């Protein structure tokens, strides 16, 4: 039996490496996406070492009934959940369909667009550069004294833009307006305003950030801004000297063991091999494609350029790897952190007058939350003061839009109340088993191969 499990574990590593490499191929079959080709020796992400059967538990039957009822009520095609307590991964499972048309049920391995949860990743990258002494939060972003002093960004229309600091952008205080619509979702219009042909790349979108007019002086008011976080992505590129996604992967994600998180693509055909299909409400209207072709497309597949949205909302990930990321930026001592305690405290300090850094809300009771919404996906991550952290992501958007995460939060509170005792275990240990994930699934020491895994490993 041990030999069979070792064989299965080895096969997991090989298959995952192939999957990651395929995910970095473009439409022409060339390797080298923004994250670069995965190393052939890269170990598997935890989402490939577990499956739904590892969380098929009697203790969570009431929890799962609540989740399924919620999905049915809101017509959610597929969803995935992870629950963690004090740095230990207790539960991770997929529900519904990853791709209904192809008959693929959602499993732990599947990755989803996480929308504005991406901002937490970008903010962590900025704060890491700050800790390394490579930038200051008080540093100006544009103008002669700015970080982005390149010639492309010198034609500044509103001189107040030169006063924008890194911290202003982190806290949505740059003063950018969305009264005419979010430029990230109107890139064909942005191209026309810049006098260039679409599609608009990252540099041109940042150039637009210097050519628009501010609604408020920097620091004067809070206006949630995707554009501000796109500019921060460019700041990371300039300061680090490497592409945004590569810096995040090499300096933030890889060191904490996140190996299957990427900046996503805009079309279904370019999706990653284990990425879900996205669904919109039946009455959703088509929109103009971001590429300037004039084509009308589904908003979730062509309404914006996911590569440009990148640091503001473009990442794809699994809940289990998001949990690993969170263990590296919270004060729990059970797992190593990527940031210093003082930095984490600064990011999450409660200030009613402005947003926290990266997070959407932090409370005096020490609850932290981060929400995200895109056409075709909704996401919410919450770290609670009682030590529980959870993430819920869907491949289906709701007509209630950005208000939907509040409904997710209420559902998760109800679902978690149905669990009298969570299993005493840590699913993260599967990564530390050199031979195989053996042992008792409920002991917390290690995990067994499931019957389905053993069957798959038999000659």
State how far the Cα of 58 lies from the Cα of 374, in Å rounded to an integer: 34
> Is the separation of the CB atoms in 338 and 102 below 8 Å?
no
* pLDDT greater than 70 at residue 116: yes
* pLDDT greater than 70 at residue 433: no
Q: What is the mean pLDDT of the chain?
A: 87
What are the DSSP calls for 261-319, one per residue?
Answer: -EE--SSSTTS-TTBPP-B--TTPPPEE-TTSS--EE-GGGTSS-HHHHHHHHTEEE-H
Neighbours of 432 (CB within 10 A): 9
Handedness of CA 224, 74, 82, 257 (dihedral sign): negative
Please tell me the predicted confidence (pLDDT) of residue 344.
97
Please tell me the predicted confidence (pLDDT) of residue 43.
72
pLDDT in tens, 304-341: 999 999 999 999 999 999 999 999 999 887 788 999 99
> Is the separation of the CB atoms in 55 and 70 below 8 Å?
no
Handedness of CA 41, 42, 43, 44 (dihedral sign): negative
- Per-residue CA distances from 384 to 90, 341, 396, 405, 417 (Å): 15, 18, 25, 16, 14
φ and ψ of 360, to 5 deg: -85, -40
* Backbone Cα Rg of the chain: 22
pLDDT in tens, 270-311: 999 999 999 999 889 999 999 999 999 999 999 999 999 999
State how far the Cα of 136 lies from the Cα of 117, in Å rounded to an integer: 23
State how far the Cα of 315 lies from the Cα of 14, in Å rounded to an integer: 24
φ and ψ of 90, to 5 deg: -90, -30
* pLDDT greater than 50 at residue 147: yes
Handedness of CA 27, 30, 34, 39 (dihedral sign): positive
Q: What angle do CA 279, 267, 18 make, to 5 degrees?
A: 105
- Cis ω before 199 (30° cut-off from 0): yes
- Per-residue CA distances from 323 to 86, 202, 427 (Å): 11, 29, 11
Chain-centroid distance, C-alpha 68 = 23
335 - beta bridge partners?
none
Helix (H) or strand (E) holding 95: strand 88-99
Neighbours of 196 (CB within 10 A): 15
- Per-residue CA distances from 349 to 169, 242, 297, 357, 358 (Å): 17, 30, 41, 9, 11
Kindly state the percentage of the chain with pLDDT values over 90.
78
> Is the separation of the CB atoms in 352 and 137 below 8 Å?
no
Please tell me the predicted confidence (pLDDT) of residue 401.
67
Which among 379, 416, 394, 351 is positioned nearest to 85, based on CA atoms? 416
Please tell me the predicted confidence (pLDDT) of residue 94.
98
Mean pLDDT of 244-249: 98
Please tell me the predicted confidence (pLDDT) of residue 352.
86
The residue ranking higher by pLDDT, 121 or 21, is 121
State how far the Cα of 406 lies from the Cα of 400, in Å rounded to an integer: 10
* pLDDT greater than 50 at residue 27: no
Helix (H), strand (E) counts: the chain: 14, 12
pLDDT in tens, 181-240: 899 999 989 999 999 999 999 999 999 999 999 999 999 999 999 999 999 999 999 999
What are the DSSP calls for 421-442, one per residue?
Answer: S--S--GGGGGG-SS---S-TT
* pLDDT greater than 70 at residue 14: no
Kindly state the percentage of the chain with pLDDT values over 70.
85
Please tell me the predicted confidence (pLDDT) of residue 305.
97
């Amino acid at each position: 039996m041990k030999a069979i499990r070792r064989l299965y574990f080895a096969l997991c590593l090989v298959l995952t490496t192939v999957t990651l490499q395929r995910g970095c191929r473009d439409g022409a079959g060339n390797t080298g996406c923004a994250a670069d080709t995965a190393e052939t020796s890269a170990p598997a992400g935890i989402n490939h070492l577990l499956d739904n059967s590892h969380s098929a538990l009697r203790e969570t039957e009431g929890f799962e009934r609540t989740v399924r009822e919620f999905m049915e009520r809101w017509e959610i095609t597929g969803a995935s959940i992870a629950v963690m307590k004090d740095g230990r991964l207790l539960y991770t499972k997929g529900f519904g369909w990853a791709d209904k048309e192809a008959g693929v049920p959602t499993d732990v391995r599947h990755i989803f667009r996480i929308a504005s949860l991406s901002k937490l990743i970008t903010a962590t990258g900025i704060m890491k550069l700050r800790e390394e002494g490579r930038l200051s939060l008080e540093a100006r972003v544009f103008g002669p004294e700015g970080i982005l002093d390149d010639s492309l960004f010198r034609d500044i229309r509103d001189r107040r833009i030169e006063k924008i600091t890194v911290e202003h952008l982190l806290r949505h205080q740059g003063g950018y307006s969305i009264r005419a619509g979010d430029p990230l979702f109107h890139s064909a219009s942005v191209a026309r305003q810049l006098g260039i042909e679409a599609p608009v790349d990252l540099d041109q979108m940042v150039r637009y950030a210097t050519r628009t007019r501010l609604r408020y002086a920097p620091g004067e008011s809070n206006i949630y801004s995707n554009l501000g976080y796109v500019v921060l992505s460019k700041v990371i590129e300039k300061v680090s000297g490497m592409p945004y996604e590569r810096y995040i992967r090499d300096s933030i994600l890889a060191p904490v063991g996140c190996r299957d998180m990427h900046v996503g693509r805009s079309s279904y055909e370019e999706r990653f091999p284990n990425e879900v299909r996205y669904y919109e409400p039946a009455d959703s209207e088509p929109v103009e494609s971001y590429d300037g072709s004039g084509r009308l497309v589904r908003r979730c597949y062509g309404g914006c350029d996911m590569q440009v949205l990148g640091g503001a909302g473009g990442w794809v990930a699994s809940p289990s790897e998001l949990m690993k990321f969170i263990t590296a930026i919270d004060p729990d001592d059970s797992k190593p952190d990527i940031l210093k305690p003082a930095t984490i405290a600064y990011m999450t300090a409660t200030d009613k007058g402005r947003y926290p850094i990266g997070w959407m809300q932090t409370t005096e009771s020490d609850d932290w939350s981060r929400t995200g919404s895109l056409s075709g996906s909704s996401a919410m991550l919450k770290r609670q003061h009682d030590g529980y952290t959870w993430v819920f992501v869907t491949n289906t958007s709701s007509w209630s839009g950005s208000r939907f995460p509040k409904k997710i939060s209420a559902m998760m509170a109800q679902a978690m109340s149905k669990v009298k005792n969570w299993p005493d275990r840590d699913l993260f240990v599967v990564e530390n088993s050199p031979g195989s994930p053996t042992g008792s699934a409920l002991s917390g020491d290690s995990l067994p191969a499931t019957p389905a895994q053993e069957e798959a490993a038999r000659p």
